[in-house]
Amino acid sequence: MSATSHNRLPLASLLALSMAAFITILTEALPAGLLPQMAQGLAVSEAWVGQTVTIYAIGSLMAAIPLTAATQGVRRRPLLLAAIAGFVVANTVTTFSSSYVLTMVARFIAGVSAGLLWALLAGYAARMVPEHRKGRAIAIAMVGTPLALSLGVPAGTLLGDLVGWRTCFGIMSGLALVLMAWVRIKLPDFAGQVAGKRLSLGHVFTVPGVRPVLFVVLAFVLAHNILYTYIAPFLAAAGMVERTDLVLLVFGIMSLLGIWIVGVLIDRHLRALTLASTALFGLAALALGVASYVPAVVYAAVAAWGLAFGGAATLFQTALAKTAGDAADIAQSMLVTAWNTAIAGGGIAGGVLLERLGVGAFVPALLGLLTATLVMVWVAKQRGFPAAGGAFRADATAPDQQRAPDLP
């Protein structure tokens, strides 16, 4: 292999994975921007339409680990195509359904497909490049996530106002069909795990470094979702509720910048970036607690928060993919479960704090979670988030031994 080919990234393949992430996130979040239209079309209240997002998350939460474990032996490209096909089916049913129950079934199927797809993406991207390019490859594959949130959802909401919510889901089905052709043509195929090398969930969970990464995911994302889910009441207390859309726009733009910075630096500075992101989020939360009544401080703090959060998924997925080695897909399914648990937990914990103590309780809760995150990243310097030059990957089949990087 020449030096040039050794360092070249397969952009067409990685962008196909990025489009898969885009479709997954947009399918999940689109109902949030189309609540009134969907409520009218399905003859239910907006609160009931909101449960289409909940059932999607439940599908992901329930399916990620068992489905990924059950398909360890399946070739990767057909499995990825099957997951994308789930979005074609689910969004097509949603497009034409006039039944709320049928729509909920379709949304559950979409969530199941998402749980499998998220478990595959990071490992797929990592297997297409040499060891020293894995972080950047995963960053490119994940760029569809902030794009969906910052651009896709607002565009989908506008399109829904212009042509109707059903057309939006129909377009999503069409995009998924195009993606299936793209994946079939451009993505390399990889074999699944042979029977003798398939690993139990318990084995993967005890691989050195896996549990620290999962703890960091749970604590960091829980902190994020407490604030993000209840940003409107938090801003209302600061007298800025009418600026909620602008505040979220600032967050989205800075998230894009965050994932770009992480993509450039991750292969050399993953540990430092993770520590910096956690500390920056903590400083942003502290600023919001101290001076939330000053609009300029709120915008600056939200910008810092977006910058810290933008590349977080890439940092965590890369750390886990490198730590788990051959068990990356199973480990990623655990990450999907931890992430969705944190999303649900953020809604529950934030709601309890809001009802019992008010928005003033958010910042101490965030600082506690982020301090725990920072400590865990700091102590996991042998496995999980190793210091520069330290050991990164352990062979999942022999946790106590080092293994050499596997180049394609």
Q: What would the mean pLDDT of 341-354 be, rounded to a whole number? A: 83
Q: How confident is the model at residue 271 (pLDDT cuts 50, 70, 90)?
A: very high
- Flag whether pLDDT at 408 surpasses 60: no
Q: Residue 195 has what pLDDT?
A: 59
Q: What would the mean pLDDT of 86-111 be, rounded to a whole number? A: 96
Domains 3-197 and 201-379 fall in the same CATH topology: yes
Q: Residue 2 has what pLDDT?
A: 42
Q: Residue 197 has what pLDDT?
A: 63
Q: Residue 7 has what pLDDT?
A: 62
Q: What would the mean pLDDT of 325-352 be, rounded to a whole number? A: 83
C-beta separation of 330 from 204 below 8 A = yes
Q: How confident is the model at residue 399 (pLDDT cuts 50, 70, 90)?
A: very low
Q: Residue 90 has what pLDDT?
A: 97
The least confident of 105-109, 143-147, 194-198, 299-303 is 194-198
Residue boundaries of the structural domains of the chain: 3-197, 201-379
Q: What would the mean pLDDT of 201-229 be, rounded to a whole number? A: 88
Q: How confident is the model at residue 246 (pLDDT cuts 50, 70, 90)?
A: confident
Q: How confident is the model at residue 3 (pLDDT cuts 50, 70, 90)?
A: very low
Give every CB contact of residue 378 below 8 A, 6+ residues apart in sequence: 275
Q: Residue 136 has what pLDDT?
A: 85
CATH 1.20.1250.20 fits 3-197, yes or no: yes
Q: What would the mean pLDDT of 340-347 be, rounded to a whole number? A: 82
Give every CB contact of residue 341 below 8 A, 6+ residues apart in sequence: 61, 218
Q: Name the residue with higher pLDDT: 93 or 330.
A: 93
Q: Residue 167 has what pLDDT?
A: 94
Q: What's the whole-number average pLDDT of the chain?
A: 85
- Flag whether pLDDT at 194 surpasses 70: no
Identify the H or E element spanning 377: helix 362-379
Q: How far apart are CA 145 and CA 316, in angstroms?
A: 14
Give every CB contact of residue 294 below 8 A, 6+ residues apart in sequence: none
Cα distances (Å, whole numbers) of residue 78 to 158, 177, 186? 35, 14, 13
- Flag whether pLDDT at 406 surpasses 70: no
Q: What would the mean pLDDT of 146-159 be, rounded to a whole number? A: 80
- Flag whether pLDDT at 52 surpasses 50: yes
Q: Residue 368 has what pLDDT?
A: 96
344 token code pair: 């649900």
* CATH architecture of the domain with residue range 201-379: Up-down Bundle (1.20)
Prediction pTM value? 0.79
Give every CB contact of residue 42 below 8 A, 6+ residues apart in sequence: 48, 49, 97, 98, 99, 100, 103
pLDDT of 360-389, one tens digit each? 899 999 999 999 999 999 999 888 898 764
Enumerate the H helices of 187-243 as residue ranges.
201-205, 210-229, 231-237
Q: Residue 109 has what pLDDT?
A: 96
Q: How far apart are CA 408 and CA 1, in angstroms?
A: 10
- Flag whether pLDDT at 395 surpasses 70: no
- Flag whether pLDDT at 108 surpasses 80: yes
Q: Residue 20 has what pLDDT?
A: 95
235 exposed, middle or buried (CB, 10 Å; 0-12, 13-18, 19+)?
buried
Count of C-beta atoms within a 10 Å radius of residue 367: 17
Q: How confident is the model at residue 328 (pLDDT cuts 50, 70, 90)?
A: confident
Q: How confident is the model at residue 405 (pLDDT cuts 50, 70, 90)?
A: very low
Count of C-beta atoms within a 10 Å radius of residue 327: 29
pLDDT of 282-317, one tens digit each? 999 999 999 888 889 999 999 999 999 988 988 998
Which single residue is written with the structure tokens 């068992």?
66
